[in-house]
Structure 1
Amino acid sequence: MPKEAAAFAAPTRVPMLDLKAQHGPIEAELRAAVERIFASSEFVLGKALNLFEEEFAAFCGTADAVAVSSGTSALHLALRCCEIQPGDEVITVSMSFIATAWPMLYEGARPVFVDIDSKRYTMDPEALARAITPRTRAIIVVHLYGQCADMDPILEIAKGHDIPVIEDAAQAVGALYKGRRAGSMGSFGCFSFYPSKNLGGAGDGGAVTTQSPKMAARLRRLRNHAQLESYWSDEIGYNYRLDSIQCAVLSVKLPRVDRWVEQRRRVAEIYDRELKAASIALPHASSDGIHAYHLYVIKDARRDQLRRALSARGVQSAIHYPNPIHRQPPYRDSQHHWNLPVTEELALHCLSLPLYPELSDAQIEAVIQSVLDARG
């Protein structure tokens, strides 16, 4: 294209996410899977659910997987299985989506927030060790942005105090830590299948993974009104079932997840290489695992200015997360001041750039050039 024409060419628009690009190539398979559910009319607790649970457990390397209605319900049921009582303490991080901490309030527990490390942006094991008290009953570790937390020291600390560890792996489908899948290391792994996730459904969905047959059986009861048999419940239960249509969609997508993660990692490698010259902080991928790059999060001291510059060039961006959980009204504790400097700094400066398997070369170049124009 001549330079004069290029100067007036419309910029390449880059959305933060494009699910139509993901679904187009597999639309026929998705439609056929959904049509099979209508043909069978097994809409709830049917064969599609059983099949997906078997497939997802095998993918995660766990003994079982229990599909539920959302990532939030997955966390809630995992915490219920830890026998949390009102006033008990549950340790987690504040740099996450608020759903990580909702189940603590549901059960009357007291959230205890610890800081993240400055590289992974996940739970700092040293901060965890300092936060444990005689009232600590569970630890919820968040695998943020697609990278696993440093699990070995966390699990060792928890084991020393006989405290169960729940993995919030909502953003980490396809991530590995020292050869182990996210969701396979703690007492429970909790996943979200919200449409934007690395493995997303056609609506809300989630799952809990576990190595314990006893816990899997209890999870299945709790998600279905805690029924031991039809119309008989011996404890408080929930309507947390995942419908068969979602299971069918997820079964179509699951075999593609590892390839999609590789495509995400390819885009991240290009960003890493081409954005070195920009005056921004790039994400750190630890050498002890596989980063699944649910999000590609940079840091910039002038984050909001950069975001406006990208928007002017047709490049969308997002902030994950501008308001850490401990700052939000339901979690403000007038009796405690949380000292979370790394969390606070990340919230002020983080910015997520578009990254998904279907990004075209032109879109990748548009993101890179837009950042360099603003920060090169």
Structure 2
Amino acid sequence: MGIPHTANQLEQPKLNIKPKIGLLIIGIILIGANLRAPLTSVGPLVASIRDSLGISNTLAGTITTVPLLAFAFLSPFAPKLARRFGMEFTLFISLILLTIGIGIRSFGGVETLFIGTILIGLSIAIGNVLLPSLIKHNFAQKIGMMTGIYAVSMNLCGAIGSGISIPISSLSGLGWTGALGGWGILSLLTIFIWLPQLRNRHKSMKPDQTAQKVKSINLWRSKLAWNVTLFMGFQSFIFYTVITWMPEILEQKGLNTHDAGWMLSLMQLAVLPITFLVPILAGRLQDQRLLIVIPAVLLIGGLFGILYGNTLLIPLWIIMVGIGVGFVFSLAMMFFSLRTQSTNEAAELSGMAQSFGYLLSAVGPVLFGGLHDITHSWNIPLLMLVLVSVLIFIAGMGAGKNEYVTSK
């Protein structure tokens, strides 16, 4: 039986307008900005890193995989850390860890490269999991808008990170270490902006009445929780696979290296308005199943277009895939709040979905490349992504139901 969305809103604390609420919003935007840029800035520099350190292609490829495994490992534990130390303080420590990781990664050695990358992955995992819960706690009546704002910040800075890495590394004396180390300035700024929130460390993530009622229920046994998890996971699978392999696919379609790289930027920029609008729209609906149809059609249509469509329309196919992935990501972020009754539950569901989701995303590029090696063609791997898009639709129809993960 569905639970009215309005009831969910009524059970949440009213929006508390504090004198420094603007500083909190700025802090959330800045934390969002730190969640992708330190990772997306690496991709364009992988060849430079490989040649500079004299490492193999295989080892260089793991630079982008290690953070995803860190996400999968730490995500389930992030809610427990937040309950133990307070959500604001846990995010503060994650920002410090991120800054240290960025610094260590930029020392210029093989060992420090991977140590820093691991620290970056662990710190970003905490932000990924806790931000939706923080928004649910502080902006119960504005979940859609605030989710959209931080998602836009995350994706915009992620796109900027991909675009400016090469130009910055080309500046005299900077190289790849300077290009990657520069993101420490952003994380350091965020630390100082976030400092005032530490006074609230004892107010967030306290077990409320609702949380105590459902404390004994295991989300891993909830069918709805698994639908949300698979919805998030399959989206990550497609996104990281496309980011890894699409330039090479497009080069075989006739595009030059420069144009193929710009297609990825186009895909990420196309996501921006979607990541803002979709959470707002989803937050106003009691049932989100109708929205699931849109990204499924876009993903399947875009992938078939890349497979069999006119190469002159490649920008259109890429935009369709980008909007489809961004649509699913935004809905998944909203489901963490809409399918739960408390801040604690939102954090637990976020941890579960992102742990399994990023584990899937780590498998995706490897499986995709393996299928290409076996078949010597991109057709079967791309058809696999079409199948995954169908699975997104199936999981989404379950996740979009107007229920709570702890409903019986």
Rg (Cα) greater in structure: 1
Higher normalized strand content (fraction of residues):
1
TM over 0.5, yes or no? no
Comparing both chains, which one has the higher relative contact order based on Cα–Cα distances under 8 Å and sequence gaps of 6 or more?
2
* Alignment TM-score, normalising by the size of structure 1: 0.29
Higher normalized helix content (fraction of residues):
2
